[in-house]
Amino acid sequence: MPEPLKFTYDINGENFASAGEASMQIKKELRSLGFAPETIRRVSIAMYEGEINMVIHAGGGVAEVLVCPEKIEITLTDHGPGIPDIDLAMQEGYSTAPDAIRSIGFGAGMGLPNMKKYTDEMIIESEVQKGTKVFMRVDVK
Amino acid sequence: MTVNELASALKLRVVTMPEPDTVVEGGYAGDLLSWVMGNATQGCAWMTIMTNRNIVAVAQLIDMACVIITEGSDIPEDVVQLAEKQGINILATDQPTYETCVRVSSLI
C-alpha cells in the first residue's frame, strides 16, 4: 500500500435503519487490506458512533477515511445544528437524543466518549447552526 | 464451545446461524447499544431484548459470537435477513435475560 487510500461515504440522514452501513463497509475494506483485528475494531466502532450521531442529530453528513500503513484517519463532516458545549457533550451519560431514538437503544450519552476511547486522537470543531467536524486518528500498532 | 453447541445445549431457538462454528468466548448483557459498543468483548454471546436492525451492526462491529434475544422479543424479518447477510448468528429464548446469562455462564 504505497499511497494512502481514501474512502468517502455519504451518510444518509433520512434512513436511521441503514445507519452503520459505512462502518460495516470500512470494516470489510480494512480486513481485506490485512489490518489487525483490534485496529479494525477501534476504527469501525468509532466511525459507527460518529455515523449514528450524524443521523440522529445532523440529518446525515459525509465520512472520509484515509488509510495509511501507520494510521487511519476518519473525518466526519455535517451541516447540522452544531454542539453548543463540547465539554458537556463529551461527558458520559449526557445526551440530547429524542425519545424515539432512546427507545431503540441509543441516546445513552456514550457515543462521543466511545469515539474518544477507541481512538488515539479526536478533535471536534463545531459551530452552532453551521455544523460539526470530527477528526479521529487511530494509530496502527 | 461453539455457537451451534451452545444453542443445542440450552435449547435456544435458532433465528439464523450463518456461522455455527464460531467459538463463544464470553458473555455480555445490555440493551443500550452505545454502552454495549463500549464494553462488550470480541467473541461474546450478547444477551439483549433489543431487536432493531442496529443490533446487527453492533454485533458485527464487535465481532460477537452470537446475539441471544431474550424474553421472547419479536424479531422483525428484515433484521433476520440483514443478520444472515452480515454473517451474524441470532438465537432466541423466552427466558428472561438474567436466567439466560446464568445458563450461558454455566457452559462457557
Domains of chain B: 3-105 (3.40.1390.20)
Mutation to test the B interface, candidates A44, A48, A56, A102, most B Cβ within 10 Å = A48
Give chain A positions within 8 Å (CB) of B34: 49, 52, 106, 108-111, 114
> Rounded to an integer, what distance in angstroms lies between the CA atom of residue B42 and that of residue A90?
25
Distance of residue B53 Cα from the nearest chain A Cα, in angstroms:
6
Taking only the tens place, the pLDDT of each residue in B8-54 is 999 999 999 999 999 999 999 999 998 899 899 999 999 999 999 99
Give chain B positions within 8 Å (CB) of A93: none
Mean pLDDT across A81-106: 93
Distance of residue A107 Cα from the nearest chain B Cα, in angstroms:
8
The count of structural domains within chain A is 1
User: Do the chains contact at B57 and A19, CB–CB below 8 Å?
Assistant: yes
SS3 of A50-78: the string is HHHHHHHHHCEEEEEEEECCCEEEEEEEE
Mean pLDDT across B84-102: 97
Could you tell me if A137 lies within 8 Å of chain B, comparing CB atoms? no
Could you tell me if A48 lies within 8 Å of chain B, comparing CB atoms? yes
CB-count burial class (<10 Å; 0-12, 13-18, 19+) for A14: exposed
Indicate the pLDDT class of residue A1, thresholds 50, 70 and 90: low
Provide the residue range defining the domain that includes A24: 5-139
A90 pLDDT more than 90: yes
Name which of A56, A50, A54 is nearest A98 in CA terms.
Answer: A56
Please give the pLDDT value at position A141. 87
B106 pLDDT more than 80: yes
Could you tell me if A101 lies within 8 Å of chain B, comparing CB atoms? no
> What CATH number did the domain enclosing A74 receive?
3.30.565.10
Give chain B positions within 8 Å (CB) of A24: 57, 60-61, 86
Q: Where do we find the cell 435475560?
A: B97
User: Which residues are CB-contacts of B38 (< 8 A; sequence separation ≥ 6)?
Assistant: A110, A113, A114, A117
Q: How are beta strands A121-127 and A71-78 bridged, if at all?
A: unpaired
User: Do the chains contact at B61 and A49, CB–CB below 8 Å?
Assistant: no
Mean pLDDT across B51-69: 95
Name which of A123, A108, A36 is nearest A76 in CA terms.
Answer: A123
Provide ipTM, 2 decimals. Answer: 0.80
Distance of residue B107 Cα from the nearest chain A Cα, in angstroms:
26
B104 pLDDT more than 70: yes
Q: What is the mean pLDDT of chain A?
A: 93
Query: Sheet holding B13-16: strands in order across?
Result: B13-16, B90-92, B66-69, B44-48, B26-29
Mean pLDDT across B67-93: 96
Contact B25, B37 (CB under 8 A): no
Could you tell me if A93 lies within 8 Å of chain B, comparing CB atoms? no
Q: Where do we find the cell 453528513?
A: A61
Could you tell me if A44 lies within 8 Å of chain B, comparing CB atoms? yes
Mean pLDDT across A47-72: 96
Taking only the tens place, the pLDDT of each residue in B67-78 is 999 999 999 999
User: Do the chains contact at A110 and B35, CB–CB below 8 Å?
Assistant: yes
Taking only the tens place, the pLDDT of each residue in A12-51 is 988 777 788 899 999 999 999 999 999 999 999 999 999 9
